[in-house]
Amino acid sequence: MLFITNFEHLSAPMEEEKFIQVILPLRLEWEPVYSVQEPVSIGERVKVNFAGKSYTGIVSKTDVNADGIKGKILRATPLPLPPVSEAELEFWREIAKYYLCSVGEVYKAAYPLEKTESEAARERATERLRERIALLEEKILKARKEETRGRYQGELSRLKALLSGEVPPGDTAPEIVLSPAQKSALKGIEKGFDAGKTVLLHGVTGSGKTQLYLSLARECLKKGKSVLYLVPEIALSRQLQERVSQYIPNMAVYHSALPQGSRARTAQAVREGARLVLGTRSALFLPFRELGLIIVDEEHDSSYKQSSPAPRYHARESAIMLGRIHGARVLLGSATPSMESLYNSINGRFVKVELKERYFKGEDPSIQIIDTRAEWRKKGMVDHLSIKLLALIRETLDSGKQVLLLRSRRSWAPALQCGSCGYIPRCPRCNVSLSLHRNPDRLLCHYCGHTEAYTGICPKCGEALQPLGAGTQRIEEELVSAFPDARIGRLDSDSAQSEASLVKDFAQGKLDILVGTQMLTKGFDFPSLAMVGIIQADNILAQQDFRSDEKALQLLEQFRGRCGRRGQQAVFVIQTREPGHPVFGAIGSDAPARLLQERLRFGYPPLTRLIHIILHDSNEPRLEKMARELAREMVSSGLPNPVGPYSPAPDRLGGEYLRQIRLMLPRDKKLAERKDCLAALVSAFEKSRKYSGHIALDVDPA
């Protein structure tokens, strides 16, 4: 039963009213009822008031029986905005059910406030454009001179093109030439699609997966269907944009860094006709009408997972849901598939297609592991770069080739410590050390953004603070000192130059060395890259997570695959204090299959579904009490083997303390029932303890 209070009385006679159910962009477990006097359909957007505030809602149900609803019912006002399709609503409900959140939270992610405002502005601008077109058409009819009529006609053509969006592609796009191995893989993909399955394309780095994607996309567009091409990072979409547009000129781009007007135009283009959309995970929420193909490139990448706020969805699983709703084909691609996708290909949910040879042939890059502990003993280190690494860089540069270096930490120094008393500067709002950044000098928290002035002096004892380790800024300085004649760039979130500009400059040979964080390991294609190297590689192994070896192997394999893509000899250098670590020895082997068997043996995902119950509170004693009570109730409810509560790392962020409970549910017929039980238990707990807003559920955490 719905209770809606604090609303004004309606002036219209009740017998003239119809009642509708509305989705609001809020965390509500129910959908409030409103009245309308004019007919509306499911999916239409309406203006409503709720708890004293105005919202744009979505009609989810019409002809609602309002008998028994207590309180005053407000009236909804229809808005002149494009309606939300039933397919979109179905997608939202599936996302909400799977990821244990409200439909309103999904709606808020799909149609944020600025998007709605932009759509309203676009509707007004479109109406003005139609008025100008109608006026020009009248002028053409009345024009007496041919010259005047021609001028009006030219302006009319321009305005009509502007109204309809991008001009459809002509016949100038080049042919996509596939190798025999690619043609064989293409047949396997189409066979999997014909069987109604999601297809996993396991193609080695440099094998030409992008050409297969584009070939499939072209065929889909010819049939009048839209294509969604997902990539994990914005920087990667920017590099791909130029390449894809050569073959599909009327493509559209969608990601969070674009101006709101550009995103609104892409949404309108998708709503009106067949388009290829290249985008990041948020592109899943575009208003597709005729979706025929979804491509998820680098499907293993953790950037596809939304960590906060709700919906905490994963783009890979969500893409499969979206494909099922639209009857679209779904293709997942990676050189290092996730354990989840490998498992699904074994149990028959996916069809796995392999592409084992590089498009330009050639050998895989050779691997050189440099033991930095041994090099320090032999005085073979210059700051944080070994003499061996410097020699390999010089050799590469002298041959006219490029170098890519990975350091997984941005900043000048990831942490500082007093050499006398041991004091480490920490963020006052997060339980993490502050990093030193140069130009200007400051201490920065990489979690909440807190900054402090840097004096270099310990506030406890007055001695000098010493840097611990080196971030990308410091590595860049050392490279500039070692190679003053080289053109060096740095790619991280602190770079003065934009990601797109740096990637473009490096791809065009305007830079000799590029050093950066893990975004360098994504699917970039640099023709002249002959050497890649990882500095302080031990950091990628130091993760408190059962997926640590999987993630480290994926990163190493992906980074190795950035070089030697044109059949040239290439080298992959790893600087580490642990040269005997099994992960380094597993590069290029069948380690993923062994890791999967270990996971299955110990009952970890993908054999089970992992859910994190995350509690946050500024009051630590209250948080600890609530976390323990919730864990006890989970045990009493029969949920299998909850672990915790325990303190995650870090255990304090943004001024709030954190506790976590881990739940692993068997993937059996009772999985959905148990998830619903968990959601109901948490909801009841929040209400009974008056603790709403302090608990989040994260299904399939990255």
Average pLDDT over residues 655-665: 94
550 burial (CB, 10 Å; 0-12 / 13-18 / 19+) is buried
Average pLDDT over residues 358-366: 74
Best CA proximity match to 524, nearest among 368, 404, 702, 361: 404
Q: Can you tell me the distance from the alpha carbon of 236 to that of 225, in angstroms, rounded to the nearest whole number?
A: 24
- Has residue 44 got a pLDDT over 70? yes
Per-residue pLDDT of 259-276, as tens digits, reads 777 788 888 888 887 789
Q: Can you tell me the distance from the alpha carbon of 199 to that of 210, in angstroms, rounded to the nearest whole number?
A: 15
User: What are phi and psi for residue 70, nearest 5 degrees?
Assistant: -90, 155
Average pLDDT over residues 425-429: 93
| Domain layout of the chain by residue ranges | 3-87, 116-164, 180-355, 366-412+470-594, 608-699
Residue 495: which H helix or E strand, with range? none
User: What are phi and psi for residue 452, nearest 5 degrees?
Assistant: -140, 155
Query: Any idea what DSSP says for residue 314?
Result: B
- Has residue 422 got a pLDDT over 70? yes
Q: Quick one: CATH architecture of 366-412+470-594? A: 3-Layer(aba) Sandwich (3.40)
Tell me if 233 sits within 8 A of 91, measured CB to CB. no
- Has residue 334 got a pLDDT over 90? yes
Q: What percent of the chain has pLDDT over 70?
A: 90
Over its C-alpha atoms, the chain yields an Rg (Å, rounded) of 28
- Has residue 567 got a pLDDT over 70? no
Average pLDDT over residues 72-93: 90
Q: Can you tell me the distance from the alpha carbon of 188 to that of 244, in angstroms, rounded to the nearest whole number?
A: 23
Q: Can you tell me the distance from the alpha carbon of 555 to that of 572, in angstroms, rounded to the nearest whole number?
A: 13
Range with the poorest average pLDDT among 144-148, 309-313, 424-428, 515-519: 144-148
Q: Can you tell me the distance from the alpha carbon of 245 to that of 257, in angstroms, rounded to the nearest whole number?
A: 19
Tell me if 425 sits within 8 A of 436, measured CB to CB. no
Indicate the pLDDT class of residue 588, thresholds 50, 70 and 90. Answer: confident
- Token pair of 426, please? 């920490």
pLDDT of residue 443: 94
Query: Any idea what DSSP says for residue 402?
Result: E
544 burial (CB, 10 Å; 0-12 / 13-18 / 19+) is exposed
Tell me if 612 sits within 8 A of 662, measured CB to CB. yes
Average pLDDT over residues 575-597: 85
* Cis? peptide before 650, omega within 30° of 0: yes
Indicate the pLDDT class of residue 522, thresholds 50, 70 and 90. Answer: confident
Range with the poorest average pLDDT among 50-64, 193-207, 372-386, 507-521: 507-521
pLDDT of residue 13: 46
- Token pair of 536, please? 């302080």
Higher pLDDT, 115 or 576: 576
pLDDT of residue 451: 93
Range with the poorest average pLDDT among 150-154, 167-171, 374-378: 167-171
pLDDT of residue 158: 65
Most confident of 147-161, 169-183, 539-553: 539-553
Q: Can you tell me the distance from the alpha carbon of 611 to that of 675, in angstroms, rounded to the nearest whole number?
A: 9
Q: Can you tell me the distance from the alpha carbon of 299 to that of 558, in angstroms, rounded to the nearest whole number?
A: 12
pLDDT of residue 478: 93
Q: Which fold has domain 180-355?
A: Rossmann fold (3.40.50)
Indicate the pLDDT class of residue 8, thresholds 50, 70 and 90. Answer: very low
- Token pair of 53, please? 């505030």
pLDDT of residue 410: 85
Q: Can you tell me the distance from the alpha carbon of 302 to that of 314, in angstroms, rounded to the nearest whole number?
A: 9
pLDDT of residue 503: 80
Q: Can you tell me the distance from the alpha carbon of 258 to that of 263, in angstroms, rounded to the nearest whole number?
A: 7
pLDDT of residue 4: 42
- Identical fold at 180-355 and 608-699? no
Average pLDDT over residues 636-640: 89
Tell me if 227 sits within 8 A of 292, measured CB to CB. yes
* Chain centroid offset of residue 441 CA: 31
pLDDT of residue 7: 40
Mean pLDDT score of the chain: 86
Higher pLDDT, 180 or 542: 180
pLDDT of residue 113: 61
Average pLDDT over residues 170-196: 86
Q: Can you tell me the distance from the alpha carbon of 189 to that of 46, in angstroms, rounded to the nearest whole number?
A: 43
Q: Can you tell me the distance from the alpha carbon of 545 to that of 611, in angstroms, rounded to the nearest whole number?
A: 14
* AA identity, residue 95: I
* AA identity, residue 359: Y
DSSP letter for each residue of 619-673 = -HHHHHHHHHHHHHHHHHTT-S--EEEE--SSSEETTEEEEEEEEEEESSTTHHH
Q: Which residue has the tokens 């600025």?
A: 114
* AA identity, residue 219: E
Q: Which fold has domain 608-699?
A: Alpha-Beta Plaits (3.30.70)
Q: What percent of the chain has pLDDT over 90?
A: 50
